[in-house]
Chain A
Amino acid sequence: MLCTDSATLLCDCVSCSESPAALTTPIKPPDSSPAACFHCGLPVPAGLDLTVSIDGASQPMCCHGCQAVAQAIVDAGHSGFYRHRTALSPTGEALVPEFIQQTQVYDHPEIQKTFVRNTGAHEHEAALILEGITCAACAWLNERHLGRLPGVLDVQVNYATHRARVRWDDTRIKLSDILQAIHNIGYTAHPYDPAQQQQAREREHHTQLRRIGIAGVLGMQVMMLSVALYVGDWSGIEENFSQLFRWIALALTTPVLLYSGTPFLSGAWRDLRNRSIGMDVPVTLGILVAFGGSVHATLTGRGEVYYDSVVMFIFFLLVSRFFELMARKRGAETAESLASALPAMATRLVDDKGIQRQEIIPAAELQPGDRVLIRPGETVPADGSIESGVSGVSEALLSGESTPLTKSPGDTLIGGSINTESPLYMRVEKTGLDTVLAEITRLLERAQQEKPAITQLADRAAAWFVAGVLLLAGVVGLYWWQHNPDSWLPVLVSVLVVTCPCALSLATPTAISAATGTLLAKGLLATGSARIETLANATHFVFDKTGTLTCGTPAIVDIEYQSDLDEQTLLQIAAALESSSEHAAARAINARVSDNPLTASDITNHPGAGISATVAGKTWFIGNPDFVHTHSNAAIPPEPSSATGATHILLADADRVHARFSLQDTPRPEARVVIDALQRAGKQVILMSGDNTAAVRAVADQVGIDNVSSDMKPADKLRAVQALQQQGNVVVMVGDGINDAPVLGAADVSVAMQAAAQISQAGADMILLSNRLDALSSGVQLAQRTLRIIRQNLVWAVSYNLIALPAAALGYVAPWMAAIGMSSSSLLVVLNALRLTRER
């Protein structure tokens, strides 16, 4: 069946990077670095010796997280996963208590009400979004692993959509156990409510397939009869047979027109009601005129019938639209998985005859006026104001500022922020779609729907074009009616059908959708389609250093101290200061301290410079030498000769510097290759960092960047990027931290790492999902190919119409030729766009 073939064709394209041939050569971590983590491909930090025995060979691991995940996979007997996978796995994370707590929330029957279906006495079924699926083997691994858990009755992983459906026996296993089991093998799962968008999309998908299938099957019958009629015109046919064929063709075409043709009919009706002219108007007019003329011929027994043209036209148009929808769906699904910020549950306080009672309800059921309790560590479930309690609240999600703000009664709380210190009682003011978070999500969605300028131009041109075609069709029809009344109908149908500007309107969106899907498969998520075009024209690439060009996980390599306090205490003070920061340096310090007895208060974060706070009644500063110099009276010790490129962070009180931490970070293994590729492609590559010159220089030399700026604050970076833009350059900014958020906002295209602070991600045009830079250089090539294909498509669509229109108006084109010509023009455009998915 035609439709089945076409669907398979598309799917093959989307997954071309994982073609069956690739399965025989399982992916290995890059050879360039001798010690790359066997599980995720990141380099193994020097001095770390973690291994897991896989298939009899001892394989290196980069961190305890990966080790635990790999061990869990091998122990469960799934080592075949490593033989079959075609992409590296996401870096493992250790199972932390907060995560276990989070998953247990999902065991609550009230919470389960929204996304769990009871399929039997103790049988439940839930739909899960799986994060971290990089290749088909991942889907296999999840299916096998879960299927082996006692109590799990059925698991189905949909590799195309990264969704899973799990059915389990409530008496033997809990949903939280299932979620933790998925986490153990290195993936993240969260339940979602399939009743929402996903189901709507599935229904849409099914309806489209049904329409295509019916148009295809019935259409073939109609065409068979038409061939008989055409041959009959040639060699003679008995009147009663030809009349029978016509009636049967009419009976078969009517359902195709009324069912499969609905999208065009209703689209045209909508356009007419809105007094605008879209693509559907001439399509519908063409279909209706052809169908009406044929019905007339059938009833009177005189004249030609064009049923074959009608069904063919509908079938091919539906197929083009289906391709477009499929390409679009993938992007939407990924974006959906990324957005899940509000907590699933809330603790509501109910007044039960004077006695206050706490009840746990789904956050979605909160109403304005409800009173809720927010415990430390919990996320604020809706917008509201504090009734009692004082606590630090982190609004990192919204403002990017990770330092908690102190909130007291009367202050407003924003849903999605995190309570960090003590219990808060809040009165809910806004819920659901009215919340600030929902507003931001809407803004993001709107940005995503932005059409590239070139599409808007094509759409406007198409509207004018359609109006012109209708006018011309009227003139042509009138002319032929007066001069040759026999052939006015076929000529009119041909003009209407042949000039349908579908190809013109499909030219850009299909190319963009196809490119978005391919980028996604490469690990680069484009959130705004307009950016693919801009990326193609980029002249300058600006990289941040920490976390972008480097792994972002520097370790303390040296501690020098001149203090009355010992090394351990100094580390604890530093860790307390950095406890709320997401900066890479903070993580290195925190990694050295476990169970910190010290806490800091009055934390002030100076992005890109340092942090000041009070620890044990004394004010401390931690940050780069400039920061410490401006904020304390301490004498700054001379910089040590740092040919090694280590970063130095000073810990000082108001009077003197107590310690100097030397941190070292290694460049990403693939950085050099990516930068070389960009420079070979004629792009300028610039490294801008807030770190000291020597450290930045050292990294720059290792990855091969000449143009380096160091000691830059966020504002300096912003100015530098804007200066570049004023010279007419198109700047791509690749960064990760909160301090990069303003620059990311200003750049023509901003790319954030997946591990980036949420605010940087929210503002970014593209996100590197795998945290690997490789996707960037191939992304640029793909963007250039996309632009080339869009131009080809537009040139083809315009020139096709320029040639076909006069030919049809002069009566050289029969309606069936027009249907084939127009449809194949659209199909050509779509297939040309789909070439973008056929790239390794």
Chain B
Amino acid sequence: MEIIYLLIPLSLLLVGLIVWIFIWAIRSGQFDDMEGPAHRILMDDDNPVEKKEDDSGNA
């Protein structure tokens, strides 16, 4: 059972990592728009006749 002295600190490290990732995700705006992305993926143009980067690409 002594393995627990290794596993528990390991799990605590993992928890710290998860918290850090979560805070990073909040800060980078991942949770700001919870609706748009879900729709946006459905609206990708299936027949991209027009080139998207025609002018702003060389900016």
Q: For the complex, is A193 an interface residue (Cβ under 8 Å from B)?
A: no
Residues of A within 8 A of B38 (CB): 20
A221 at the interface (CB under 8 A from B): yes
Chain B positions 30 through 59: 1 when the CB is less than 8 Å from some CB of chain A, otherwise 0? 011111101110110100011010111001
Q: Which DSSP category, helix, strand, loop or mixed, fits chain B's interface?
A: helix
CA distance A148 to B57 in the complex (A): 9
Residue of A nearest to B17 (CB): A217
Which of B22, B36, B54 contacts A1 (CB under 8 A)?
B22
Is the CB–CB distance between B15 and A221 below 8 Å?
Answer: yes
Residues of A within 8 A of B19 (CB): 213-214, 217-218
Considering the chains assembled together, what is the distance between the CA atoms of A7 and B25 in angstroms?
Answer: 14
How far, in Å, is A332 (CB) from chain B's closest CB? 16
Which residues of chain A come closer than 8 Å to B34, judged between CB atoms?
Answer: 7-8, 10-11, 160
Q: State whether the Cβ of B6 lies closer than 8 Å to any Cβ in chain A.
A: no
B43: chain A residues within 8 A (beta carbon): 23, 80, 84, 136-137, 140
Task: Pick from A149-157, A312-320, A485-493, A641-649 the stretch touching chain B.
Answer: A149-157
By a CB distance below 8 angstroms, the chain A residues around B49 are: 77
Given A20-B39, A150-B56, A218:B33 Cβ within 8 A: no
CB distance A139 to B42 under 8 Å? no
Cα(A209)–Cα(B31), bound, Å: 9
Tally of B interface residues using CB under 8 Å: 32
Do most interface residues of chain A lie in helix, strand or loop, or is the interface mixed? helix
The reply on A350 being an interface residue by CB < 8 A is no
Question: B8 to A7, Cβ gap below 8 A?
Answer: no
Measured in the bound complex, the distance between the Cα atoms of B36 and A157 in whole Å is: 8
Contact A217 B22 (CB under 8 A): yes
Q: Give the contacting residue for A160; candidates B8, B35, B40, B52; CB below 8 A.
A: B35
Contact A206 B26 (CB under 8 A): yes
Taken together as a complex, chains A and B put the C-alpha atoms of A218 and B38 apart, in Å, by: 29
**Any B CB within 8 A of the CB of A269:** no
B22 touches A160 (CB 8 A): no
Query: What residues of B have a CB within 8 angstroms of the CB of A137 in the complex?
Result: 39, 43
The one of A1, A14, A136, A152 in contact with B39, judged by C-beta atoms closer than 8 angstroms, is A136
Could you give, for residues 1-33 of chain B, a 1 whenever the CB lies within 8 Å of some chain A CB and a 0 otherwise? 100110010011001001100110011000111
CB of A140 within 8 A of CB of B56, answer no
Q: In the complex, what residues of A have CB within 8 A of residue B33's CB? A: 158-161
Within the assembled complex, what's the spacing in Å between the Cα atoms of A137 and B26?
A: 26
A329 CB, nearest partner CB in chain B, Å: 12
- Write out the residue numbers on chain B whose beta carbons fall within 8 Å of the beta carbon of A158: 32-33, 36
Given contacts A148-B52, A217-B22, contact A7 B31 (CB under 8 A): yes
Q: Are A209 and B26 in contact (CB under 8 A)?
A: yes
Which A1-33 residues have C-beta < 8 A from chain B?
A: 1, 4, 7-8, 10-11, 14-15, 18, 20, 23
Q: Is A748 among interface residues, defined by CB-CB distance under 8 A?
A: no
Contacts of B11 in A (CB 8 A): 221
Say which residue of A136, A214, A248, A252 sits within 8 Å of B35 (CB atoms).
A136
Q: Which residues of A are found within 8 Å of B35, using beta-carbon distances?
A: 11, 14-15, 136, 159-160
Q: List 14 A-B contacts (CB under 8 A).
A: A20-B39, A84-B43, A136-B43, A137-B39, A149-B55, A150-B55, A150-B56, A158-B32, A160-B36, A209-B26, A214-B19, A218-B19, A244-B4, A252-B15
